[in-house]
């Protein structure tokens, strides 16, 4: 996606840039929807990026404050504050490329004046403050989302492939491996045919898998909207 050059340090997006909309699809239709799998890729990449941004922000903030009384503290803070909007723009570009959503461009310019005036101006700049908040906020959010995504996908896939159990058991038995399937024959389940139990578990896993795709897509586009709002 390209925008006209306006001569600024970072070209702003057109005023008519549309809002990010959540993709819509039927409950089962999401299996054939590319946005579901692009969302998974985005969440996977977002997790390590959020860790890097968080560590960078906390480390640089601590160093700048700790060295404020030396000649290194203020230049370090200056470089750190200038870098934040650019990092936020890169984060937005990631969502734009993977999720194929429109992202604004920051209208960020370094304040004029002497060094101290520019440094003070950066601490008041909306782009800088928004980028700092995003870099810190994304870490816990992306971590929770990553855990939810891995857990939900792992559990749903594990339940879904239960239908392969009879075939795997036959292969193991034919190979001389003793197989204990008493876990299926406990309590009231001992009265239910094995085929019914396996079918029910697989169907539940399949439904859970689809629900997980819907949830992960919603979270991915929510984070993209969050980053987009920080650039407006």
* pLDDT for position 207: 92
Could you give the C-alpha distances from 126 to 96, 121, 135, 198, 227, in angstroms and in order? 22, 10, 14, 56, 14
Q: Which two three-digit tokens encode residue 62? A: 């601590």
Residue spans of the chain under pLDDT 50: 1-16
How far is 162 from 152, CA to CA, in rounded Å? Answer: 16
Q: What is the pLDDT of residues 109-143, one digit of tens each?
A: 666 777 677 676 777 777 777 788 888 888 888 88
pTM for this predicted structure: 0.72
**What angle in degrees, to the nearest 10, is found between the helix axes of 115-124 and 126-160?**
40
Q: What is the pLDDT of residues 194-206, one digit of tens each?
A: 777 788 888 898 9
* Burial category of 183 from C-beta neighbours within 10 Å (exposed 0-12, middle 13-18, buried 19 and up): exposed
């Amino acid at each position: 996606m390209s925008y006209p050059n306006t001569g600024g340090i970072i070209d702003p997006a057109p005023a008519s840039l549309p809002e990010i909309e959540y993709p819509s699809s039927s409950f089962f239709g999401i299996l054939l929807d590319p946005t579901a799998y692009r969302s998974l890729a985005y969440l996977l990449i977002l997790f390590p990026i959020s860790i890097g941004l968080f560590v960078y922000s906390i480390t640089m903030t601590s160093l700048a404050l700790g060295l404020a009384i030396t000649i290194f503290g203020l230049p370090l803070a200056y470089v750190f504050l200038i870098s934040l909007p650019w990092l936020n723009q890169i984060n937005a570009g990631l969502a734009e490329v993977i999720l194929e959503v429109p992202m604004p461009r920051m209208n960020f310019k370094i304040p004029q004046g002497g060094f101290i005036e520019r440094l003070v101006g950066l601490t008041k700049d909306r782009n800088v403050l928004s980028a700092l908040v995003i870099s810190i906020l994304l870490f816990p959010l992306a971590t929770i989302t990553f855990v939810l995504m891995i857990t939900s996908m792992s559990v749903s896939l594990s339940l879904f492939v239960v239908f392969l159990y009879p075939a795997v058991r036959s292969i193991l038995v034919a190979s001389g491996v003793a197989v204990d399937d008493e876990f299926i024959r406990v309590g009231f389940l001992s009265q239910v045919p094995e085929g019914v139990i396996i079918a029910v578990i697989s169907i539940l896993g399949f439904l859970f898998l689809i629900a997980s795709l819907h949830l992960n897509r919603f979270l991915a586009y929510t984070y993209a909207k969050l980053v987009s709002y920080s650039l407006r």
